[in-house]
Structure 1
Amino acid sequence: MSESSEETRITREGPLHRLDGALAARGWATQPLLHYDRARIKASRWRIKEWDYYLVGDDSYAVALTLSDLGYAGLVSASLVDFEQGAYKTTSVVTPLPLGRFKLPASSKEGVSAFENDRVSFRFEAADGVRALSARFARFDGDDDLTFEAVLDDEPRDSMVIVTPWAEDPKAFYYNQKIVGMQARGSFKKGLVVHGFAPNGSFGLLDWGRGVWTRDNTWFWAVAQGWQDGKGGVEPGSHRFGLNLGYGFGDTSSASENMVFVDGVAHKLHRVDFGVPERGGSRDARKVVDRFDLLKPWHVRDDQNRLDLVFTPLLDRVDAMDFALIRTDQHQVFGRFDGTVVLDDGSPFKVAGLPGSAEVVHNVY
């Protein structure tokens, strides 16, 4: 696997933090080698952020579930995306002051993440390489309830793991794992709509994060998963292909989170630019859509001439909230990727019609 001299690969297990609260290491890995311990964090409980985000989808639908403890607020959210109709629905419940009471697991490999009240019930259970997901959301879309069950398994050997500090705040850090390309099977029901996710054509991903953030951040994240033959075709049973690309916040001098995955094996990339079309307005525009024309094609490239993709948008899933303590402007654009990536052995891998998403998010929290 190639490595840049500017980036640090973490290869040894150990604690995420030293006893004095400083990060024990910073860099990237393909497994979560560092052990998260909330008790070692020296920042206020108000600032600790912990979340599990799952997305399960096929060519017709995707279901996304978020369970997050942001310290002073908890966010429980579900999204249903209908690719055939070019439509989506997102519904969220915000709870005050969880301050760690969600008790989200310290490990992404095992444990139960759960929340329940009189409207919503989420349960994510990980054990022995299998992830069982269940959700119930009353009045998800008008009078229609949403129910969802899925099992994710056949987890790839490699995943994207990153440990990132913030230069301006020694207490701030971001510990993140993204697992792309798990096999998925399950179903959802919303009102009269029932849809099943079959293993050969359905995939699941996990975005698992723990950290302390500075208050105002903008990030870019792209993720995609599906069958590719590497020659420009999409035959099932050829290669299970995934990508994870991102940048935008924190001190990333030790590592980027840019990887592609072929049959579960990671190929590390360096720095990327999403090439989001700009409207020509101010880079300090308050709203993401005032700066970017998100539904035009994006040209995604890296700085080592290994990545050259065009992302063609299908729909922009918008989720915006503006409260006293929390302001978020999220644009998760779903579409397809086409182009080429050069793997670690120097061979080109062609990408054709790969379904995924690319997002621009501005959070103040």
Structure 2
Amino acid sequence: MPSTHEREITGPVDLCLPDGRLNPGAVGWTRRPLHRANLRGWSRAKRWEYWGIVTPRHIIGLVASSLDYAGVHGVYVLDRETGEETGKDAVVPFARGAVLPDRSGAGEVSVRGGGVAIGVRQRPSGSRVRALAPGVLDLDVEIPLPEGHESLGVVIPWSSRRFQYTVKDVGRPVRGRLSLPSGEHEIGEGAFAVLDHGRGKWPYRMTWNWAAASGPGLALQLGGKWTDGTGMTENALFVDGRLHKIGEELTWTYDRADWLRPWTITGERVEVEFRPFHERAARVELGVVGTETHQCFGRFSGHARTDEGAWIDFDGLTGWAEEARQRW
């Protein structure tokens, strides 16, 4: 069976035309980062790097972003044993000092301000991620890129002037250390990392769903709402690092009055149940700009179908599912 109606891009391409509009030749999906996000000017341009790290003891989230009018950076840690959350958020006017390269996996990411500093050194062999928020955390990890490991890159075309390029890289190995006020923790066996690299020009209002999960030899990347009606999706199954692109829009069912009730994510090639064990709620209000995110951590069960039509069963994949509502 064909894996998807969507076009696979196999060579380097610029995201934008010289006048700043979307390059039609950039619309498609990739197995490794091939897009150069040559965004021009302001006009609702958004750039971010999000790294999520899941270990047997902790869940860590790091965000470095430039939203034109502000840099919104943050660090977060959940202790899975105690349920304790710690974190630090910073808003830097006009994203002063933020360095966010135009290619995923190349160059250096650097943001600083408001008591938060995040740096990522990206190389062909992998990335080194450093984050420091005094009194909150000190993180130093290596995230290797295994040979043959694939990631999902997608361009979502709302219009010629509103579009988003995302790379979702799920199930990367990670090793290093996490220092918290409560003590030092080694990161290695049983841990994985997820990258969300985003570059684009967004409408003022948008809602999205995102789920990412990983386990031995398997990983899931699923999205919804924000891609509906564009002809593109950000859905994929990874088996031993190989991407199986899922081109259909999926149905997400969950209870907005009780985020910890089970979620379902379904389609012709996906039947997933997600059982949360913790909800992280985050809100940012900056006048006419605001965001509300409910990110639930938990375990996934069910099955998904490969490009060849085989159903792959999974039970106990760990990760998260979220709903984010943006005014930006």
Alignment TM class, shorter chain as reference:
over 0.9
Question: Separation in 1 of the partners of 2:105 and 2:229?
Answer: 25
Deviation at 1:340, TM superposition (A): 1.2
1:1-365 alignment runs, 5 A limit: 2-5=2-5, 7-24=6-23, 25=25, 26-38=27-39, 41=40, 44-45=41-42, 47-98=44-95, 101-117=97-113, 119-138=115-134, 144-155=135-146, 157-167=149-159, 170-198=160-188, 200-227=189-216, 240-250=217-227, 252-269=229-246, 270-277=248-255, 291-302=256-267, 304=268, 306-365=269-328
Instruction: Give, in whole Å, the separation in 1 of the partners of 2:177 and 2:251.
Output: 35
Q: Runs ≥4 in structure 1, deviation > 6 angstroms?
A: none
Q: Match of 2:33, SS?
A: coil
* Cα offsets for 1:49-80 (capped at 9, x unmatched): 10011112212211111000000010110010
Q: How far off is 1:313 after superposition?
A: 0.7
The separation in 1 between residues aligned to 2:187 and 2:235, in whole angstroms, is: 28
| 1:117–1:22 distance in 2 versus 1, CA, 3 Å | closer
Whether contact under 8 Å (1:8, 1:254) holds in the other structure is no
Count of matched residue pairs: 324
Distance change (3 Å), C-alpha of 1:163 and 1:48: same
CA distance in 1, matches of 2:177, 2:308: 39
After TM superposition, give the deviation of residue 90 of structure 1 in Å: 3.1
**How far is the alpha carbon of 1:118 from its aligned partner?**
6.8
Greater CA radius of gyration, 1 or 2? 1
Taking the aligned partners of 1:11 and 1:134, their CA distance within structure 2 comes to 31
1:88 Cα deviation (Å)? Answer: 2.2
Deviations 1:243-280 (A, max 9, x none): 10002125653311100101110111122122213xxx
Cα distance in structure 1, aligned partners of 2:45 and 2:205: 15
Counterpart code for 1:162: V
SS at match of 2:316: strand
Tell me whether 150-159 or 334-343 shows the greater mean CA deviation: 150-159
1:282-316, CA deviations, whole angstroms, 9 ceiling, x for partnerless residues?
xxxxxxxxx443110011111x2x21111001111
TM-score, with length taken from structure 1: 0.84
Is the Cα contact below 8 Å between 1:52 and 1:66 reproduced in 2? yes
Q: Contact 1:164–1:252 at 8 Å: present in 2 too?
A: no
Q: 3-state DSSP class of the match of 2:161? A: strand
Asked if the contact 2:107–2:121 (Cα under 8 Å) also holds between the matched residues in 1, the reply is: yes
Q: Verify the 8 A CA contact 2:105 2:127 in the aligned structure 1.
A: no
**Distance across 2 between alignment mates of 1:145 and 1:31:** 34
- What percent identity do the matched residue pairs reach? 30
- Tell me by how many angstroms 1:83 deviates: 1.6
Give the distance between the partners of 2:214 and 2:137, measured in 1 at CA: 24
Distance verdict in 2 for CA 1:181–1:352, change over 3 Å: same
Deviations 1:20-67 (A, max 9, x none): 3332231222222222213xx3xx515211001111221221111100
Deviation at 1:193, TM superposition (A): 2.7
Query: RMSD in angstroms over aligned alpha carbons?
Result: 1.8
Deviation of 1:221 (Å): 0.3
- The answer to whether the 8 Å contact 2:36/2:103 transfers is yes
Alpha-carbon spacing, 1:256–1:118, altered in 2? closer, same or farther (3 Å): closer
Q: 1: CA distance between counterparts of 2:296 and 2:72?
A: 21
